Amino acid sequence: MVATDVQTPATPPSVEKEVWDEKRAARKDTREGWLFCAPYLVLFAVFVIFPAVWGLWISLHRYDFTLPDKPFIGLDNYTGLIDGSSPWSAVFWESIRNTLLFTVLSVPLLLVVPLAIAMVLNQKFAGRNLFRAIYFAPYVLGVAVIAVLWRYLLDANVGLINYYLGRAIPWLTDVPQAWVSLVGVTVWWTLGFNCAIYLAALQDVPRSLYEAAAMDGASWWQKFRTVTLPGIRSVLVFIVSTTIIASMNMFGQSFLMTQGGPGNETRTAIMQISDTGLRQFDSGMGSAMSMIFMFFLVVISGSVFWLTNRDSDAQAKVRKAKAEARAQA
Amino acid sequence: MSTRTHRHPRIATAAAACALLLGPAGCASTALSEDTGPPLGSDGYTGPPVTLQYWNGFTGGDGPYMRAMVDEFNAAHDNIQVESNTLGWTDFYQRIVAAVHAGQGPDVAVMQLDNLATQAARSVIVPVEDAIEQMGFSPSDFPQTLVEATTFNGHAWGVPLDSHTIASYANTDQLNAAGVAAQAGTGAAFESELAAVQQSGVAEPFWMPNKWPAHLMFLSLLWQGGGEPYSADGLTATYNSPAGVEALSWMVDQVKRGVSPTNVAIDSQYLAFKNAETTVTWDGIWQINDLRTTAPDLKWSLAPIPKVFASPASWANSHQFVMLSQREPDADKQQAGKTFIKWMVEHSSEWAAAGMIPAYEPARSSPEFTNMPQSALSGQIENFHYMPSIPGVGDVNVQTLELAVSEAVLGRQTPQQALDQQAARADDILASNAEKFGATNQG
């Protein structure tokens, strides 16, 4: 075992030279790269890194900027939230639970439905561009517009939807109906964005691959699995990550359509954090909530990244092995 | 010179970061003014021309009337120019707190009474009892209950402009069709009024909202039954008292009896009233202008909400002129500010057109007010109840009391359960607020 481990890194001289060249190129590029990135990095440092670190510091205080006393209280904000002794604890964890529930309900739909629509819109048919525009249209509307629109459509007593259904379904004032409404409206509103990205990716999949697959007698499902999905893989990873993050950050829909209700059942984490930090000026507690929420975001985004990256590492190895085999031959 | 030309970008970044870090720290160390400046003479402000910044939240139907009054004031005063900044109430409080603490606050503003204690505790506003005296007003110029409600920690924090309450709007066509001559004054009469209207074909004549203004209805009924939402020391929620449970049960009963549909979402009851789908709705008197403009064909009457329990009472709030804490107080602007407030209060009969009840006694006997629908409530003004002066009480209401009302009206919890559960949470928040604001005594 030891012997093979030592032997593995041994590579032919030609490859060694190539690696050295890359290194030199990389070293030379660094300075220019930093230069080009500098304007953004300055903004990033001032408006993202610095506030994040400062937020961490604030979360260790009972911090209200309007009051003269901002005592350092160590981890009290965190322990109060975690052991339930803070009056905000229960509602905060309920908001985290609601956010995760919304994410679990909305992300699969936001991945699958736009892909299906994009595949249809990728076919050649009359009025294709019109349909592409129609599916994208809701996305250009602001959240305030779509929320007010749907609030009236979905109203239990004066809404158009119940009028046509001839029933009095409490779309916004009871669960699980409120979740159906919120997820449904969100999918209707944002699917156009994912759809447009899918469509761009689908158009990049070489037609020759489909032709080759067809000649090999591949079924529709086989073509989808072996040509379409691998072809849009990198875009898929991007959509998965951005959709999860967008869903975790849901705020406007429930703020405007259900006001977090019934009770606190559709109150999301961002809603709770902004309420605590910006309305009650309890910046210390609000920052502590943000940090805990960030922990969830990091864990989830990290696992998505890790899962997909591990996969692409494996593929890279396969590619490298094939390239080496070709070089040997 | 050479240091400037060779300045490294990293230093600039560090400097920017320092400025950000020190900015807020600087805010805390520089003292804010705590009074309204030198006394105002009997002939008002006579100094050089000044421009005043005046912030308010009149974005609704009341906005045009406020603008007209400010224009009139500007025309009448050569040496004072008032510049208004109007933004919605929610944004208003967030921004004015930040602006004052950054030393960029306005000279004068209007705030709602239930915010005064909170803003006083946050050092945003200054006591005005001396200023009120300098303006030539005495407490007897305003309703007694209102003057008491303006007091916190032994000081007056605002000069009352108006009172606004919730009242009962009724569709007069539907009342007439049911043979009801006038709106009911008691709970029993109200019940038979609704029954009569149901008989004549309006299936659900009194829609019970679960959100705004549901908690204002609840508070009114709580006070009618002799209850109080919070203890006098501001440390305990008392809205789960028997009076509170009775009040909320009465609201839930309207749904159970079928007078109201279930699941009335925000604004639905008001929309239904405008569309003549329901006969009676309790809402703020500030909706008068909205009803006049958006439902011009609707015939309605306005009356005090009926006395359902022992004594007449209804929730009310008040717009108050306040003077802001200043980092660098300017004696001229402070004097001009007081002149402006004095003029506005003295001319507040014009403000009646915005759907409000002027707080200034002489204004309430003017024809501008007595011709308005809300003058029907003027006799009730001493029965108006205001939120107690407890810093942070507004948020406690939003977080707990409103939630309890909503849960019970939607039928998700019994009134007792909902009120007990939220009152327990309110106690925790009140304790945490008392510790935070450091002052627990009520004025």
Distance of alpha carbon B369 from the chain centroid: 20
Are B406 and A69 an interchain contact pair (Cβ–Cβ within 8 Å)?
A: no
Q: Give the pLDDT of residue B15.
A: 40
Q: Which residues contact B96 (CB under 8 A, 6 or more apart)?
A: B55, B105, B106, B109, B119, B124, B324
Strand partners, B302: B169
Residues of A with CB under 8 A from a CB of B: 38, 42, 45-46, 50, 54, 62, 64-70, 86-87, 90-91, 151, 155-158, 168, 170, 172-174, 259, 261-264, 278-282
Q: Is the peptide bond before A39 cis (omega within 30 degrees of 0)?
A: no
Are B436 and A62 an interchain contact pair (Cβ–Cβ within 8 Å)?
A: yes
Q: Give the pLDDT of residue A314.
A: 63
Q: For residue A86, which residues of chain B lie inside 8 Å, CB to CB?
A: 432
Are A68 and B28 an interchain contact pair (Cβ–Cβ within 8 Å)?
A: yes
Cα gap B229→B238, rounded to integer Å? 5
Q: How confident is the model at residue A305 (pLDDT cuts 50, 70, 90)?
A: confident
Are A155 and B94 an interchain contact pair (Cβ–Cβ within 8 Å)?
A: no
Closest Cβ–Cβ partner in A87, A157, A170 for B428: A87
Closest Cβ–Cβ partner in A86, A264, A281 for B403: A264
Cα gap B56→B96, rounded to integer Å? 10
Q: Which residue of B has its CA nearest to A262?
A: B407
Q: For residue A264, which residues of chain B lie inside 8 Å, CB to CB?
A: 403
Are B122 and A50 an interchain contact pair (Cβ–Cβ within 8 Å)?
A: no
Are A263 and B407 an interchain contact pair (Cβ–Cβ within 8 Å)?
A: yes
Cα gap B142→B331, rounded to integer Å? 28
| Angle (nearest 5°) at CA B78 between B74 and B84 | 30
Beta strands in B7-143 (DSSP E): 50-56, 80-86, 108-112
Are A279 and B24 an interchain contact pair (Cβ–Cβ within 8 Å)?
A: no
* Comparison of pLDDT for A317 and A139, the residue scoring more: A139
Q: For residue A157, which residues of chain B lie inside 8 Å, CB to CB?
A: 207, 261, 263-265, 268, 272
ipTM surpasses cut 0.90: no
Cα gap B362→B347, rounded to integer Å? 10
Strand partners, B185: none
Are A156 and B271 an interchain contact pair (Cβ–Cβ within 8 Å)?
A: no
- pLDDT at residue A98 tops 90: yes
Are B124 and A69 an interchain contact pair (Cβ–Cβ within 8 Å)?
A: no
Residue A256's nearest CA partner among A167, A119, A145, A110 is A145
Q: Give the pLDDT of residue A329.
A: 63
Q: How confident is the model at residue A27 (pLDDT cuts 50, 70, 90)?
A: low
* Comparison of pLDDT for A34 and B193, the residue scoring more: B193
**Strand B384-385 vs strand B314-317: parallel, antiparallel, or unpaired?**
parallel
Per-residue pLDDT of chain B (443 residues; tens, 9 = 90+): 333 333 344 434 444 444 444 444 444 446 888 888 888 888 889 899 999 999 999 998 899 999 999 999 999 999 999 999 999 998 899 999 999 999 999 999 999 999 999 999 999 999 999 999 999 999 899 999 999 999 999 999 999 999 999 999 999 999 999 999 999 999 999 999 999 999 999 999 999 999 999 999 999 999 999 999 999 999 999 999 999 999 999 999 999 999 999 999 888 999 999 999 999 999 999 999 999 999 999 999 999 999 999 999 999 999 999 999 999 999 999 999 999 999 999 999 999 999 999 999 999 999 999 999 999 998 899 899 999 999 999 999 999 999 999 999 999 999 999 999 999 999 999 999 998 887 434 33
Residues A220-246, mean pLDDT to the nearest whole number: 92
Query: Scanning the structure block, which residue is given the tokens 């717009």?
Result: B319
Decide: B334 and B250 in contact? Cβ < 8 Å. no
**Strand B155-156 vs strand B151-152: parallel, antiparallel, or unpaired?**
antiparallel
Closest Cβ–Cβ partner in A90, A262, A282 for B410: A262
Q: Mean pLDDT of all residues in chain A?
A: 88
> How many residue pairs bridge chain A and chain B with CB atoms within 8 Å of each other?
101
Q: For residue B429, which residues of chain A lie inside 8 Å, CB to CB?
A: 87
Are A54 and B21 an interchain contact pair (Cβ–Cβ within 8 Å)?
A: yes
DSSP one-letter string for A157-184: TT-HHHHHHTS---TTTSTTHHHHHHHH
Radius of gyration of chain B (CA): 24
pLDDT digits (tens, 9 = 90+) for A246-304: 999 999 999 999 999 899 999 999 999 999 998 889 999 999 999 999 999 999 989 98
Torsion over CA: B312, B249, B171, B298 (sign): positive
DSSP one-letter string for B111-126: EEGGGHHHHHHTT-B-
Q: For residue B122, which residues of chain A lie inside 8 Å, CB to CB?
A: 64, 66-67, 281
Cα gap B422→A91, rounded to integer Å? 12
Q: How confident is the model at residue A312 (pLDDT cuts 50, 70, 90)?
A: low
CA distances from B257 to B188, B246, B247, B278 (A): 14, 16, 15, 15
- pLDDT at residue A7 tops 50: no
